[in-house]
Amino acid sequence: MISQAELDDYISSVPPLPKVVKACSDALEEGDLIKAADEAAKDGALMFYLKELVNKPIFGFRTTIKDSRQLFGALGLSRARQFLYAYYANLLLPQKWIFFDLDKRVFQEFQAHIMVKWERILQKQNIDNDEMLKAASLIPSALAVCENIFKNHLVTIKLIREQKPLSYDLILYKLTKMHFIDVAIQIARKWELSTAIEELLLDFKDTKPHGDLIEYLKLLIQYELSRPELVQSGVNDFFELTIFANDDLIADFYSLIKEDKDATSN
């Protein structure tokens, strides 16, 4: 069992928002894309990450985006906010993945796919809420924190799984008395996200049906973790999700996935 003090250290290791990033975020909240771009340009690491992410094929930009004003103009306010929170998640990454067989490239692809499809789901649900877009960054962020927890308890986890093939979420609970979603909630609080996001995560955690949006989120996580590289990494063994979605919702979800594939192939 991990002590409460040790667990607190893991959560407290989630970094606060860097000064430049906070200034960029504040400019976006003011609706000023040019000011946000100019603030972002002051941080080389931030700009390197944003350009690396935005130029991935899944986002569908036909030309390479090279400078901050071009980047923020192409993204618009909503997506720019989403990208900033993806960068926050990047701040949690270990120097080297030890427990899960991941690397920066695979993690960033996971981030990008979650972001794009979550945005499509919100549009499908007619949810025009920039704050809710930020929720897409919490799943990858919590995964990075869990890596930092698990890598220091390799022997214990191996012994637990030898006794019974439990999901990593249940093993996390055995070690910390926290589920994966509880870790995501702690990160959301650290980043001062809205209570609406916390409520969404609590509904996700509950074993009872909570409406279509939660079912879409479950299907999204299940789908993304089924990618070959995520299966190989071991991350696919994290959850045992109970899906309440009916056939129509599942069909709608896969139509969104098809739209996403079509967008990247054009």
For residue range 190-228, list pLDDT tens digits in order. 888 889 999 999 999 888 888 999 999 999 999 999 999
Q: Pick from 70, 56, 46: which is nearest to 112 by CA?
A: 56
Considering the domain architecture, whether residues 86 and 187 belong to the same structural domain is answered as no
Residues 115, 72 within the same domain: no
Residues 49 and 160 occupy one common structural domain: no
Judged by DSSP in three states, 76 sits in: helix
- Based on the fold, state whether residues 154 and 218 are members of the same structural domain: yes
Same domain, 164 and 251: yes
Range of the domain at 52: 19-90
Q: Taken in order 78, 139, 143, 14, is the CA torsion positive or negative?
A: positive
Whether pLDDT at 266 is above 50? no
Number of domains into which the chain is organized: 2
List b or e across 229-254, with b for residues whose CB sees 16 or more CB atoms inside 10 angstroms: bbeebebbbbbebeeebeeebeebbe
Cα gap 8→21, rounded to integer Å: 25
121 exposure class (CB count in 10 Å sphere: 0-12, 13-18, 19+): buried
pTM of the prediction? Answer: 0.84
**Is 84 in the same domain as 99?**
no
Last residue of a domain, one of 59, 90, 121: 90
What is the average pLDDT across 230-235? 93
Strand locations in the chain (E): none
Question: Mean pLDDT across the stretch 171-197?
Answer: 88
